[in-house]
Amino acid sequence: MLLSLELYVMLVLANGSPVVVARMLHHRGNCPIDGGRLWMDGRPLLGSSKTWRGLFSGVVTCALFAFWTGLGWLFGVFFGFLALLGDMVSSFIKRRMGLASSARAVWLDQLPEALLPMALAWYWLELPLWEALAVALLFALSNMLFSPLFFRLGIRKQPH
């Protein structure tokens, strides 16, 4: 149970630390991962909200937390990277669907960023599959529930 809680916290950290760092640094270090490139459909590859600063902060935060909890910094690096890779996959799909980065896509906005790192946890930590899926689902549901609140409090720029 403690492991599941730690993994849930890591999902929150991977996805939340880029938001916090962006609020602290504003536009400093705000370089889009896609470099502003467009895909064949003329739309952005990922969009301006997916930055190197966000990727770095999410990965480092997860690495530090994983080290602190005894899961190992390397596990944290991979976990954080996969969470943010899942977020980038969501953004890529949303752009192909013609949705703006602020557009809501229920489940697509939450599941890839939770399932990819939880697949790693399932494999690396030999976590039972049901437990990995339960943590991913809990993260997705809590993200849907709390994101509008964080938006109203001014923590997030978008309500989802």
Measure the CA–CA gap between 109 and 86, rounded to whole angstroms: 9
Is 51 in a helix, a strand, or coil?
strand
Place of tokens 């989802």: 160
Residue 37: DSSP 8-state: -
* Cα-based distances in Å from 62 to 11, 42, 94, 97, 155: 8, 34, 26, 30, 20
pLDDT recorded at residue 99: 86
All structural domains of the chain with their residue ranges: 2-152
CB 78 within 8 A of CB 120: yes
Tokens coding 66: 């994983």
Burial environment of residue 133 by CB neighbours within 10 A (0 to 12, 13 to 18, 19 or more): middle
Closest residue by Cα to residue 62 from 133, 113, 130, 23: 113
pLDDT for 103 beyond 90 = no
| Mean of the per-residue pLDDT values of the chain | 91
List, for residues 10-69, the tens digit of each pLDDT value: 999 999 999 889 888 888 888 999 999 999 999 999 988 899 999 999 999 999 999 999
pTM for the structure as a whole? 0.90
pLDDT for 106 beyond 90 = no
List, for residues 42-56, the tens digit of each pLDDT value: 999 998 889 999 999
